[in-house]
A and B are shown apart, each in its own frame.
Chain A
Amino acid sequence: MRAVLKIALGIIAALGGFLDIGDIVFTTQAGALYRYDLLWAVVLGTIGIAVYAEMCGRVAAVTGRPVFDAIRMRMGFGLGLAALIASTFVNVLTVAAELGGLAIVLQLLFDAEFSLFVVLAAIGLVVVVALLPFGGIERVFGYCGLLMLVFVATAIHQGPDWGEVAQGFVPSLSDSKLYLYFVVGVFAAALMPYEVHFYSSGAVEEGWTESNLRENRLNAIIGYGLGGLLACALVVVSGYLFHPLGVDPTDLGTAALPAQGAFGETGLLLALGGILFCVGGAAIDSSFAASYNLAQFLGWEWGRYRGPKKAPRFTVSWLLFLFGAMLIVLTGINPVEITEYSVVLAVVALPLTYFPILIVAGDRSFMGEHANGRVSTTLGWIYFAVIVTLAITAIPLLLMTNGGGG
């Protein structure tokens, strides 16, 4: 039981990564458009992120170095800088989208001006980060995000044809460009670079050592497994309710409708609460990831555990990223559109993130007896091949499908 309670880091990373505003809308749209046909892409993404998160958690526990250190070390200054610029661009867009998502949910709950909630959400995040220790932040957002389990209960309550649902787990491809766009989107959403940046830096924040390797494995399997299960539940409830009616769920609020249909106002409130904490968790993940990367690349003192006095540049950069993101949302750009583009653009940065992890985690001179075994190496390379393929196809698909608009 104690071991299970220790997996908050994996849960917040997974919920923030799998169920941020873009993923919620992406998976709900995938269900609405293709019913259960894209469930296999969710599972494929879940295994991929679990494999790589385990690797970078292991590297952090054994060497005390987070992912961006590895990127800088293995790829040199030039490519490291390219990775920093690409990931910072995507991270800031993601923080903006999540802040917007928080404001949308607050608006649905309390009905006032959207811009007021954007500012309140940003202030709320600063207060939470200032008051809570790193472990507290993980637990609040990780465990409260579990309210999303209402979507699993909704799927069971709806009682879909489980045979049809099971068929969705069998990989299938189609020549429809829109279908391929959603395959790329669903898969990429699971492997957003900020997840591993946050996860590995979080492991260093928590002072992991080799004695935490079991915890790391549990985090990767249970934390990300749970994120994958909830993403599958979103596809199923959306496929069951929205597909036959022809609903196109482009708004975050629409994603909560199946829970309302199944359990009335209670279901709606649980769903909105779950979305609030997941999106809030993603805002923390992505804003921290942006500051972690910058500080690690430039060799600054970093970490929430050090506090603002010992890591002033890290703290100021975090505040600036959050402030910049707030300004982006206040321009009135739709947060859902921001995140859908950021997910697809992130695909292009994926090889720069995952290649160094694969190399460092497999390096026996660096990792000793904890270097990748045969299974991790094989899975790592298979997934890397998939990542490169997706990186090549993502932008053309984005343009050909008019950003998923068909």
Chain B
Amino acid sequence: MRIGWRRYELALALLGTVGLLFAGCGDLSRDELNRGVESLSALAAQGQLIANGVARDATKSTYTRVMAKTLGGEAEHEAEKLADAEPSPGVEQERGEAVRIAGELADLFSELQTFPGDERRGAQVQKQMAETKEEADAVVERLSGEAQ
């Protein structure tokens, strides 16, 4: 009997733990979205620096290719994560913009990966990365501004 009760208690504890874990997997909150867009801004900043190396012919193409592949993968992953999540009320528009920005970043990294030795394209990508970063920063500002 005692063993039976222990099992019952254990099952309850497990259910509670699973419940708590899943409680965090609901809507995409303003804070989570903010963090996601901040990481996109950081990725764009890194992209700017890598593209700058290409534009100045001051880098090694293998380095550019591998870095662009890694960072592009991170941008794609962020895009998927944001697109899959259900936004909480009031941040639907920002969520849409974040997904678009992440997609744009993935495309830009893909361009760097394909043309790691093309200086003209490097300069172009650098400029576009800077613009994308500005867009991401604007979304962050809106999200944190509206929160106050």
Contact = CB atoms under 8 A, between A and B. Distances in A.
Given A245-B49, A257-B49, A264 B62 contact: no
Contact of B63 (A245, A249, A272): A272
B29 interface: no
B65 interface: yes
Interface in B44-68: 45-46, 48-50, 52-53, 56, 58-60, 62-63, 65-67
Given A247-B46, A248-B39, A406-B35, A260 B58 contact: yes
B41 interface: yes
A210 interface: no
Contacts of A260: 53, 58-59
A241 B46 CA distance: 10
A295 to B, nearest CB: 38
A206 interface: no
Contact of A111 (B39, B50, B53, B62): B62
A253 B62 CA distance: 11
Interface string A160-199: 0000000000000000000000000000000000000000
Interface residues of B, number: 23
Q: Of B38, B46, B62, B71, which is in contact with the most chain A CB atoms at under 10 Å from its CB? A: B46
B45 A245 contact: yes
Contact of B58 (A110, A241, A256, A265): A265
Nearest to A104: B66
A109 B63 contact: yes
A109 B62 contact: yes
A110 B62 contact: yes
B70 interface: yes
B42 interface: yes
A242 B48 CA distance: 11
A108 B42 contact: no
Contacts of B45: 242, 245-247
* Chain A at the B interface: SS class: helix
Nearest to B67: A253
B60 A269 contact: yes
A107 interface: yes
Interface in A214-267: 241-242, 245-249, 251, 253-254, 256-257, 260-261, 264-265
Contacts of A110: 62
Contacts of A111: 62, 65-66
Interface of A: 107-111, 241-242, 245-249, 251, 253-254, 256-257, 260-261, 264-265, 268-269, 272, 406
Given A247-B49, A264-B58, 14 more contacts: A108-B63, A108-B66, A109-B60, A109-B63, A111-B62, A111-B66, A245-B48, A246-B38, A248-B42, A253-B67, A253-B70, A257-B53, A268-B53, A268-B59
Interface of B: 35, 38-39, 41-42, 45-46, 48-50, 52-53, 56, 58-60, 62-63, 65-67, 70-71
12 contacts: A108-B62, A108-B67, A109-B60, A246-B38, A246-B42, A248-B39, A256-B63, A260-B58, A264-B56, A264-B59, A268-B63, A272-B63
